[in-house]
């Protein structure tokens, strides 16, 4: 019996890639480099600012300019956090179904709260979510299960009564470690090198509408 449905944020609940790509491309242009196509940036989005700067500039955190560029990226993104971002097709209909059935839903993300909270607020979902757990809400982040346990305490349900959906291996590792039913969102930000078949989820889905089958 599923009493709660929890979503990863970037690449599962919301398509945040267009705004993150726009922020990276603005940094690239400011630095005299060519912008990158969205299709190149999109698979990397789930891994955050560090991965985006690595992708755009082809150097790692040891580079003298890395932290400056990362902070600039986050500054641009924070100021344009919901300009192009939308929830994935089918999410709104799913939320209506959950709410009509009195099934709680929430977000468990590694995105820091100073980005998660304004994004959820600007999209209009803060008051509807039963819990919003960010990457700095608990001491540990996914793939550790602690953020999922925290969400369960807020919702007042057992992990075995929860369904967790994510588009990254760390999501599935965390959900399985917590004892939840897990679904891999293949519509999310899957990299070419990823092998989601090996992540150990209970199932893989191509569209949010498929989530209803697990309720």
SS3 44: helix
- Selected catalytic residue, list 8, 15, 167, 171: 8
DSSP 144: S
Q: Which two tokens stand for residue 121?
A: 């607020």
Which has the closest alpha carbon to 174: 27, 12, 45, 57? 12
Per the CB < 8 A criterion, the answer to whether 130 and 104 are in contact is yes
- Rounded to the nearest 10 degrees, the angle between the axes of helix 17-30 and helix 66-79 is 130
Q: What are the residues whose beta carbons fall under 8 Å from the beta carbon of 18, sequence distance 6 or more? A: 38, 84, 85
Identify whether 60 is a catalytic site residue.
Answer: no
3-class secondary structure for 54-99? HHHHCCCCCCCCHHHHHHHHHHHHHHCCCCCCEECCCHHHHHHHHH
Active site residue 15: no
Query: Which residue among the candidates 10, 19, 167, 171 is catalytic per the annotation?
Result: 10
Catalytic residues, which ones? 8, 10
């Amino acid at each position: 019996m599923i009493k709660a449905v929890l979503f990863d944020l970037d690449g599962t609940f919301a398509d945040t890639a267009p705004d993150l790509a726009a922020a990276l491309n603005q940094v690239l242009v400011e630095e005299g480099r060519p912008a990158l196509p969205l299709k190149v940036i999109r698979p990397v989005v789930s891994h955050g600012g560090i991965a985006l700067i690595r992708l755009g500039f082809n150097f790692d955190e040891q580079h003298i300019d890395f932290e400056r560029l990362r902070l600039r990226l986050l500054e641009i993104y924070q100021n344009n956090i919901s300009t192009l971002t939308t929830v994935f097709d089918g999410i709104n209909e799913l939320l209506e179904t959950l709410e009509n059935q009195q099934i709680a839903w929430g977000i468990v993300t590694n995105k820091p709260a100073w980005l998660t909270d304004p994004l959820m607020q600007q999209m209009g979902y803060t008051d509807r979510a039963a819990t919003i757990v960010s990457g700095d809400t608990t001491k540990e982040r996914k793939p550790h299960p602690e953020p999922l346990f925290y969400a369960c305490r807020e919702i007042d349900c057992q992990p075995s009564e929860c369904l967790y959906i994510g588009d990254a291996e760390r999501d599935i590792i965390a959900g399985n470690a917590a004892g939840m039913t897990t679904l891999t969102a293949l519509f999310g930000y899957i990299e070419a090198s990823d092998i989601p078949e090996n992540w150990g989820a209970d199932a893989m889905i191509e569209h949010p509408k498929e989530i209803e089958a697990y309720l």
